[in-house]
């Protein structure tokens, strides 16, 4: 299971609502998670995700390269989020009963 | 900084640059260049390189990094020369010396000494004088007991002449305070006592290799699990073997001679270590029981070193029993003294350090042996890894 601050998961989550280039991903991730990803970390995650076939480049409009979530990536993100949600639900339930 | 940031792209692997360089450059144009960004891009390049490096390359790179860091550290650490002066306690005992030391090592007198000898030149620009005085008192000046009725004053400094002059000043202060009389003036140290550069460099390299192995191990490379296993096995095996080796203790005594030359001293040593004398010691102390080579073994385990300039003789004896080691050393010293008195040569022997009772074994030094085992195990694994790397056939790429 990946951690919820794992750069790869954050990138997948960022691409879940549409295609984005690197800088847009960095800003979006900071907005929704508070995590400031550096360019080296971001491109480390992008490389890994592209190798796994979870994201793919889309034709660029300028020098910036946008990426999109593939069907495989969407499926992986869904299963990861389901696992995180399951943990969160269980923990919350236990906190209520404690 | 933006230019430096872009220059760091060249540290990424070529295949990666072919695919991502343009878009990564565009991203670097968008972000604000900070030190954090710089380290992040550098770290990213390093991680990407590590991804394509073979395990042995990672270990070699880590070893080289460890080696370079250790060389830099050892070169940046200044030499440390230690000068000693031996004084005879004039009145009273250790309490008298301690009371005298308290006055001599007062803040006022040490500040005077620092200024007079221009000590701690670079430290004075960044440290308050109070801290320097404390540093000097606690680390660089050492006052310790010597032979019975004597004490030794030492000072450590980055240069030999300054160490000697400061020790002379301290010894003179003890003489002026009627605490002691000078027996052996402050020597000019010939070689530095530290840092032990070769040891630092070897340690740096070993640490680098270990870090590399661990890194490769955590990267899930099976061959490096073997490396960790071999390293640990080597260390454990050597430690186990070292426990099978009997302990050996070494007792040391130091005497100084006056009124004779080195040749005369050699004659005395010869008289004490001749066959008859050694045979007597074997019988008297029951050494090397039932061993036909007892006499020659005794000769092998006695070490007598002479220093012509200081007219000092160091006598050492190594044996399986610590008490016997001490007694035999005492006996050798006594025989030397007796021999010097026998002949009317005018030579006078004076004990500087009585034969001590060794508390820890001189041999085997088990942590060191386990360390060697670890190193040999890792080296074997590295060789094995290299061999595997070159013997593994290249995978056949299926035609699409």
Q: How far apart are CA A48 and CA B302, in angstroms?
A: 66
Q: Tokens 């984005």 map to which residue?
A: A20
The distance of Cα B48 from the centroid of its chain, to the nearest Å, equals: 38
Q: What is the pLDDT of residue B368?
A: 83
A42 contacts B27? CB cut-off 8 A:
yes
Chain B contact set for A26 (CB, 8 A): 27, 31
Chain B nearest-CA distance from A39, in A, is 6
- Does B11 contact A at CB distance below 8 Å? no
Name, in order, each residue with C-beta under 8 angstroms of B296's C-beta and a sequence gap of 6 or more: none
Q: What is the pLDDT of residue B43?
A: 92
The distance of Cα B310 from the centroid of its chain, to the nearest Å, equals: 24
- Please tell me whether residue B286 adopts helix, strand or coil conformation: coil
Q: What are phi and psi of B307, to 5 degrees?
A: -115, 115
* Token pair for A1: 């299971």
A41 is in which domain, residue-wise? 7-97
Name, in order, each residue with C-beta under 8 angstroms of B168's C-beta and a sequence gap of 6 or more: B85, B185, B186
* Domain positions in chain B: 2-52, 81-184, 197-244+368-389, 249-353
Name, in order, each residue with C-beta under 8 angstroms of B94's C-beta and a sequence gap of 6 or more: B145, B151
Q: Tokens 């070193």 map to which residue?
A: B305
- Cis (ω within 30 of 0) for the bond into A9? no
The answer to whether the B81-184 and B249-353 domains have the same CATH topology is yes
**Is residue A1 in a domain?**
no
The distance of Cα B161 from the centroid of its chain, to the nearest Å, equals: 23
Q: What is the CATH number of the domain that holds A48?
A: 1.10.10.10
Q: Which parts of chain B fold into alpha helices (H)?
A: 2-7, 14-30, 35-52, 55-76, 94-104, 107-117, 121-126, 129-135, 160-176, 197-218, 222-244, 262-272, 275-285, 294-301, 322-342, 366-391
A-B Cβ pairs (cutoff 8 Å, strict)? 63
From A21, A38, A46, residue closest to B40, measured CB to CB? A38
Quote the DSSP letter at residue B363: B
Third-level CATH fold of B81-184: Alpha-Beta Plaits (3.30.70)
Q: How far apart are CA B310 and CA B317, in angstroms?
A: 22
Q: What superfamily does domain B249-353 belong to in CATH? A: EIF_2_alpha (3.30.70.1130)
Chain A nearest-CA distance from B60, in A, is 23
**Is residue A44 in a domain?**
yes
**Is residue A48 in a domain?**
yes
Q: What is the pLDDT of residue B390?
A: 61
From B29, B36, B48, residue closest to A44, measured CB to CB? B48
- Please tell me whether residue B99 adopts helix, strand or coil conformation: helix
- Does B44 contact A at CB distance below 8 Å? yes
**Is residue A19 in a domain?**
yes
**pLDDT 10s per residue in chain A (98 long)?**
445 578 999 999 999 999 999 999 999 999 999 999 999 999 999 999 999 999 999 998 788 999 999 999 999 999 999 999 999 999 999 998 87
Q: How far apart are CA B70 and CA B385, in angstroms?
A: 25
Q: Tokens 């606690």 map to which residue?
A: B138
Beta carbons of B153 and B174 less than 8 angstroms apart: yes
From B16, B26, B42, residue closest to A64, measured CB to CB? B26
Q: How far apart are CA B199 and CA B203, in angstroms?
A: 6
| Total domain count, chain A | 1
* Closest of B309, B349, B98 to residue B187, by C-alpha: B309
- In angstroms, the Cα distances linking B248 to B63, B287, B324 are 35, 13, 11
Taking 70 as the pLDDT cut, the residues of chain B under it are 92-94, 217-225, 308, 310, 343-345, 385-400
Chain A residues in contact with chain B using a Cβ-Cβ cutoff of 8 Å: 21-23, 26, 38-44, 46-47, 60, 62-65
Q: Give the chain B residue whose CA is nearest to the CA of A61.
A: B23
Chain A nearest-CA distance from B30, in A, is 7
Per-residue pLDDT tens digits for B88-144? 887 766 677 877 888 888 888 899 899 888 898 888 888 888 888 888 887 888 887
């Amino acid at each position: 299971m990946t951690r919820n601050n794992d750069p790869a998961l954050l990138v997948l989550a960022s691409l879940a609502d549409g295609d984005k280039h690197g800088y847009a991903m960095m800003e979006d991730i900071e907005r929704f998670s508070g995590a400031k990803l550096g360019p080296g970390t971001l491109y480390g995650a992008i490389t890994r995700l592209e190798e796994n076939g979870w994201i793919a480049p889309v034709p660029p409009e300028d020098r910036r390269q946008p990426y999109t979530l593939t069907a495989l990536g969407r499926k992986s993100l869904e299963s990861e989020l389901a696992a995180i949600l399951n943990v969160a639900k269980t923990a919350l339930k236990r906190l209520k009963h404690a | 900084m933006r230019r430096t940031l872009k220059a760091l792209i060249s540290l990424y692997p070529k295949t990666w640059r072919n695919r991502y360089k343009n878009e990564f450059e565009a991203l670097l144009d968008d972000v604000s260049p900070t030190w954090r960004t710089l380290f992040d891009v550098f770290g990213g390049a390093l991680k990407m390189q590590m991804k394509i490096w073979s395990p042995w390359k990672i270990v070699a790179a880590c070893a080289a990094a460890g080696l370079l860091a250790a060389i830099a550290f050892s070169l940046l650490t200044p030499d440390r020369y230690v000068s000693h002066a031996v004084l005879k306690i004039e009145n009273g005992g250790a309490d008298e010396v301690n009371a005298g030391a308290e006055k001599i090592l007062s803040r006022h007198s040490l500040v005077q000494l620092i200024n007079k000898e221009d000590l701690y030149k670079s430290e004075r620009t960044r440290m308050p004088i109070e801290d320097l005085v404390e540093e000097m008192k606690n680390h660089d000046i050492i006052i310790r007991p010597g032979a019975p009725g004597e004490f030794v004053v030492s000072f450590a400094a980055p240069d030999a002449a300054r160490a000697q002059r400061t020790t002379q000043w301290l010894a003179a202060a003890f003489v002026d305070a009627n605490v002691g009389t000078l027996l052996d003036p402050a020597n000019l140290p010939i070689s530095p006592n530290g840092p032990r550069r070769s040891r630092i460099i070897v340690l740096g390299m070993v640490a680098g290799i270990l870090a590399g192995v661990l890194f490769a191990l955590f990267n899930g490379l099976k061959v490096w699990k073997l490396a960790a296993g071999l390293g640990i096995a080597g260390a454990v095996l050597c430690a186990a073997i070292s426990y099978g080796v009997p302990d050996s203790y070494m007792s040391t005594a130091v005497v100084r001679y006056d009124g004779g030359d080195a040749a005369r001293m050699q004659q005395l040593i010869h008289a004490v270590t001749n066959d008859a004398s050694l045979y007597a010691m074997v019988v008297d102390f029951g050494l090397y029981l039932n061993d036909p080579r007892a006499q020659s073994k005794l000769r092998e385990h006695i070490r007598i070193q002479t220093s012509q300039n200081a007219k000092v003789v160091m006598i050492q004896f190594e044996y399986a029993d610590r008490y016997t080691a001490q007694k035999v050393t005492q006996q050798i010293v006594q025989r030397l003294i007796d021999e010097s008195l026998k002949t009317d040569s005018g030579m006078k022997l004076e004990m500087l350090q009585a034969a001590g009772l060794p508390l820890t074994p001189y041999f085997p030094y088990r942590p060191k042996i386990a360390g060697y085992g670890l190193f040999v195990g890792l080296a074997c694994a590295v060789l094995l890894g290299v061999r595997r790397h070159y013997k593994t056939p290249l995978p056949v790429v299926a035609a699409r």
